[in-house]
Amino acid sequence: MIILTGPCVMEDRDTVLRIAEKLLPLSEDKRVDFYFKASFDKANRTSLDSYRGPGLDAGLKLFEEIKQQFGHQLVTDIHESYQAVPTAEVVDVLQIPAFLCRQTDFISSCS
């Protein structure tokens, strides 16, 4: 079984690390292929005033900390082609939002 779970968007560091710690039993369960999932930038918010996340640099640092401290496999979504390479250097899976899946240049940047 594959499970991808975590906060929708990365909140403050303490909250994200607390969630990652609470999910340790899933990552240690040999029956589960577990991935910690969170977004460093929720670019598809309905309101311009909504919190979008810490951004690429701070988000990747937090993902590195999660991987180092808890050993979780990681998945996150990206919204811009320039995010593909640096994100792939840290996380295990890049998620492509459905509304971007037909953008040829974007998809090519992820391969």
Domains along the chain with CATH numbers: 2-109 (3.20.20.70)
pTM above 0.75?
A: yes
Q: How many CA atoms lie within 13 A of 94 on its CB side?
A: 23
Dihedral sign, Cα of residue 98, residue 104, residue 108, residue 111: positive
Q: Per-residue pLDDT for the chain (111 aa), expressed as one digit of tens each? A: 999 999 999 999 999 999 999 999 988 988 999 999 999 988 777 777 888 899 999 999 999 999 999 999 999 999 888 999 999 999 999 988 766 666 666 667 767
In angstroms, the CA 49 to CA 109 distance is: 29
